[in-house]
């Protein structure tokens, strides 16, 4: 058994180099397709991170009555913290709101200073785990005595959720389509390499080689093409890492920094798995059509 | 072969109810015009095809009931050569011949002496390290014969082995096949070569339109009445 594996590996290695033109074509196709695939995945990862960030930025703003006591407010804060939909609650006092307003609208300083009292209410700003929970939290707040009113941005939130959903679905669809195309092209290239050696397979069958004996060297050769293709692709990605992260932080500004190491490792594993997997699958399927009679 | 009929998916009937028995050690010429069914008969014998009806028995085993994994084992008991030699161009004569043993999983120390032995039989010892492209047609066919012999087959099938060779070289190949037969191997040779068949006077089975029209021992290529 071990002798057979060693033998098949040796034959795979030999024929990889003997048919160097075909091997080169298959490997080059593999690299091109894997680069395409991983590029798309990097792009989609950036998009996903951005969408996540945008989702987290959805805030419910509840304006508090001036009459609300500190006790009422802190009680409300505690109960909000206890809600599973809520990630963060921050209290903005009347003074803070006043300063924020001035900072945002320096031209309106005269207007607001001409008023006898500070007209801006204190508020609670609540960050949500999922923007779809907006209505639940808003409804809850509307029933609290300390709350004057809840800023209604339901329409905006709904639109955003729709757009994000479309972007996600679109990204997934593109990924699936490209993935299928990549699969098809690589399998086809490997098939060509096998077809080029149809004579050899025929002779092997005629002199009484078992199916396993014919198949495994080809399968190992497919794995070798996948392995080399993946290695080159990962090398290219490493070289391109600097420019790629630069591009990502330009376009998506908010990509979480600590994620990039994990993302890199995942992409490397994906490239390796896809390369070797498709290499093996392609050879197996291609040789199969010569064996079954 | 017992009542063997073979039809192809395109509707062509290649063999119609053929009965043919070849005892071990026989030398049989299979003759007939192109399309008479000679190649189909050979494909059935090496179980490259299965009969539509009827039974093909080889060494007492029903090829139609053979398990897929037993097919290679029975093929190793058949040596076969073709008109177009079917050698691997990027392997030397030695490696082409050794290939037939290599694919059976034989260890290298057994392959080399076996290859040397059959190369002596076909007279190609001096050309062992050349590639097929450097050989004449006759030498290429002798390489193919050596490859067919190296597994020590019980049945030797030659499909138009002299089709691409000039008369003198053809004679050398026939002499070689006769010697192989003398070693006790059954030989079945499909051919168009009337001169050779008539001169050798062996058993002649003539196919026409998928049927056996003549089966004579010590006969000529054409009917002699």
Mean pLDDT of chain B: 85
pTM confidence score: 0.68
Confidence of residue B141 (pLDDT cuts 50, 70, 90): confident
Q: What is the pLDDT of residue A253?
A: 57
- Is residue A57 predicted with pLDDT exceeding 50? yes
Of chain A, the percentage scoring pLDDT greater than 70 comes to 93
Across the interface, do A208 and B104 touch by the CB < 8 Å criterion?
Answer: yes
Q: Name the residue among A12, A39, A34, A26 with its Cα closest to residue A274.
A: A34
Q: What is the pLDDT of residue A258?
A: 45
- Is residue A254 predicted with pLDDT exceeding 60? no
Q: Cβ of A2 under 8 Å from any chain B Cβ?
A: no
Please tell me the distance in Å from A281's CA to the nearest CA on chain B: 22
Range in A38-42, A105-109, A255-259, A263-267 with the lowest mean pLDDT: A255-259
Chain B positions touching A22 (Cβ under 8 A) are: none
Across the interface, do A293 and B103 touch by the CB < 8 Å criterion?
Answer: no
A62-91 as b/e, with b when 16 or more CB fall inside 10 Å? bbbbeebeeebbeebeeebeebebbeebee
Say if residues A226 and A282 touch (Cβ distance below 8 Å).
no
Q: Cβ of B183 under 8 Å from any chain A Cβ?
A: no
- Is residue B148 predicted with pLDDT exceeding 50? yes
Say if residues B185 and B153 touch (Cβ distance below 8 Å).
yes
Q: How many CA atoms lie within 13 A of A280 on its CB side?
A: 10
Q: What is the pLDDT of residue A257?
A: 46
Q: Is B107 left (phi over 0), alpha (psi -120 to 50) or beta?
A: beta
- Substitution target in A207, A209, A213, A292 with the highest count of B β-carbons within 10 Å is A207
Query: Tokens in use for B181?
Result: 């037969």
Sole residue written with tokens 């085993």: B61
Across the interface, do B105 and A208 touch by the CB < 8 Å criterion?
Answer: no
- Substitution target in A1, A21, A200, A206 with the highest count of B β-carbons within 10 Å is A206
Please tell me the distance in Å from B210's CA to the nearest CA on chain A: 22
Integer angstrom CA distances of residue A291 from A10, A201, A212, B71, B90 = 21, 9, 10, 11, 23
- Is residue B222 predicted with pLDDT exceeding 80? no
């Amino acid at each position: 058994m071990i002798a057979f594996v060693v033998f098949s590996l040796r034959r795979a290695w030999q024929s990889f180099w003997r048919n160097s033109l075909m091997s080169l074509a298959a490997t080059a196709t593999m690299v091109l397709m894997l680069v395409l695939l991983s590029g798309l995945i990097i792009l989609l990862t950036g998009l996903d991170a951005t969408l996540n960030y945008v989702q987290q930025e959805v805030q419910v703003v509840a304006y508090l009555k001036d009459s609300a006591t500190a006790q009422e407010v802190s009680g409300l804060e505690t109960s909000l913290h206890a809600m599973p939909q809520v990630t963060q609650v921050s209290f903005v006092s009347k003074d803070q709101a006043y300063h924020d307003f001035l900072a945002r609208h320096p031209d309106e300083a005269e207007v607001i200073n001409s008023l006898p009292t500070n007209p801006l209410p204190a508020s609670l700003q609540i960050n949500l785990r999922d923007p779809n929970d907006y209505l639940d939290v808003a409804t809850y707040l509307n029933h609290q005595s300390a709350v004057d009113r809840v800023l209604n941005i339901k329409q905006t939130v709904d639109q955003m959720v729709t757009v994000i959903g479309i972007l996600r679905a679109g990204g997934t669809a593109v990924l699936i389509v490209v993935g299928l195309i990549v699969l098809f092209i690589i399998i086809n290239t490997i098939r060509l390499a096998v077809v080029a050696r149809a004579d050899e397979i025929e002779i092997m069958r005629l002199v009484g080689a078992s199916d396993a004996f014919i198949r495994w060297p080809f399968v190992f050769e497919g794995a070798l093409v996948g392995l080399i293709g993946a290695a080159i692709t990962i090398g290219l990605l490493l070289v391109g890492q600097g420019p790629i992260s630069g591009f990502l932080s330009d376009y998506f500004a908010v990509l979480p920094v600590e994620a990039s190491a994990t993302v890199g490792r995942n992409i490397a594993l994906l490239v390796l798995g896809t390369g070797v997997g498709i290499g093996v699958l392609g050879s197996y399927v291609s040789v199969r059509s010569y064996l079954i009679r | 072969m017992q009542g063997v009929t073979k039809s192809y998916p395109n509707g062509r009937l290649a063999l119609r109810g053929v009965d043919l028995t070849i005892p071990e050690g026989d030398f049989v010429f299979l003759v007939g015009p192109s399309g008479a069914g000679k190649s189909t008969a050979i494909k059935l014998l090496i179980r490259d095809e299965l009969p539509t009806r009827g039974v093909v028995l080889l060494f007492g085993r029903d090829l139609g009931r053979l398990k897929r994994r037993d097919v290679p084992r029975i093929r190793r008991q058949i040596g076969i050569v073709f008109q177009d030699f079917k050698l691997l161009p990027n392997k030397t004569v030695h490696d082409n011949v050794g290939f037939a043993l290599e694919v059976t999983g034989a260890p290298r120390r057994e392959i080399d002496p076996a290859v040397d032995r059959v190369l002596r039989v076909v007279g190609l010892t001096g050309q062992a390290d050349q590639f097929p492209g450097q050989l004449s047609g006759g030498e290429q066919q002798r390489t193919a014969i050596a490859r067919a012999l190296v597994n020590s087959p019980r049945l030797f099938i030659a499909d138009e082995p002299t089709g691409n060779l000039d008369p003198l070289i053809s004679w050398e190949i026939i002499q070689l096949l006769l010697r192989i037969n003398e070693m006790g191997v059954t030989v079945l040779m499909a051919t168009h070569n009337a001169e050779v068949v008539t001169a050798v006077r062996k058993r002649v089975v003539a196919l026409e339109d998928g049927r056996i029209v003549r089966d004579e021992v010590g006969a000529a290529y054409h009917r002699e009445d």
